[in-house]
Amino acid sequence: MIISEAKPLAELQEVLAPFGRLFLVGCAACATACKAGGEEEVFRFQEWMAGQGKETTGSVIIDEACHIQRAARDLRHHAQAVAAADALVVLACGSGVQSISSNTDKRVIGALNSLFLGNVRRFGQYEEMCSLCGDCILNETAGICPVTNCAKGLLNGPCGGMKAGRCEIDGELDCAWRLIFERLQRQQRPGVFARRVPPKAWSRRRKPGRHKIR
């Protein structure tokens, strides 16, 4: 899922300063799961805004805020409350914010920072394991992604900063290449060490991404 977290309140205070009446949008999918933009957080945000002397004209938790048509429908259902607001505040990932902004010319304020595509270790603990690079090498790397788990995204082995099997940028972090190496050893196969992996085709990740199922 997409991991997001609340922006600092001071930042939101500043960006919301010109507006007195606001419509709130949350997301029932990822932002709810990581407790950044669900029912509870939207309610708390409303309370906080009231404390700032601002009025909430209404709110909605969209089933998946990244769904553009669904967002459009939900905004239509709340057309009056939306129309009464000076701006919309969206407690969802950047994708969700843009589903909303692509459906209205009103000012749309994102209240979260989107962090990464995260795996859930346990509740409240998320780990980035995939960078959506478009050119997957996992089959050669024993199911551990070096593009994501190596701080430098190296494709041919560890850098010179590996110390006792840990990463140079954080001594608590296992070197991804050590993990790959050890699992390949347990699987008794050379995997990615059998060849010099050529440079990645970053063209596969040309922005903005578009995908159409035929």
Q: Smallest distance from the beta carbon of 163 to another protein, in angstroms?
A: 6
Question: How many helices (H) and strands (E) in the chain?
Answer: 8, 9
Q: Smallest distance from the beta carbon of 168 to another protein, in angstroms?
A: 4
Q: If 0-12 CB within 10 Å is exposed, 13-18 middle and 19+ buried, where does residue 195 land?
A: exposed
Which residue, 136 or 159, has its beta carbon nearer to another protein? 159
Sheet holding 125-128, edge to edge: 2-6, 112-122, 125-128
- Residue 2: beta bridge partners? 117
Q: How many residues bind another protein (CB under 8 A)?
A: 27
Which residue, 120 or 169, has its beta carbon nearer to another protein? 169
Q: Smallest distance from the beta carbon of 191 to another protein, in angstroms?
A: 10
Q: Smallest distance from the beta carbon of 204 to another protein, in angstroms?
A: 14
List Cα–Cα distances, 60 to 3, 48, 89, 133, 141, in angstroms: 20, 17, 11, 33, 43
Which residue, 109 or 150, has its beta carbon nearer to another protein? 150
Residue 185's contacts (CB-CB under 8 Å, 6 or more residues apart) are none
For residues 86 and 88, give the distance between their C-alpha atoms in angstroms, rounded to a whole number: 7
Which residue, 79 or 173, has its beta carbon nearer to another protein? 173
Q: Smallest distance from the beta carbon of 152 to another protein, in angstroms?
A: 5
Which residue, 47 or 172, has its beta carbon nearer to another protein? 172
Backbone angles phi, psi at 30, to 5 degrees: -55, -45
The residues in 98-137 that bind another protein, with binding defined as CB under 8 A, are none
Only one of the segments 2-10, 51-59, 126-134, 198-206 lies at the binding site for another protein (rule: CB under 8 A); that segment is: 198-206
For residues 140 and 156, give the distance between their C-alpha atoms in angstroms, rounded to a whole number: 11
Which residue, 106 or 200, has its beta carbon nearer to another protein? 200
Q: Smallest distance from the beta carbon of 113 to another protein, in angstroms?
A: 15
The residues in 133-192 that bind another protein, with binding defined as CB under 8 A, are 151-165, 168-169, 177-178, 181
* 197 makes contact with another protein (CB under 8 A): yes
**Count of alpha carbons within 13 Å of 20, Cβ hemisphere only?**
1
Query: Which residues of the chain form contacts with another protein (CB under 8 A)?
Result: 151-165, 168-169, 177-178, 181, 193, 196-200, 202
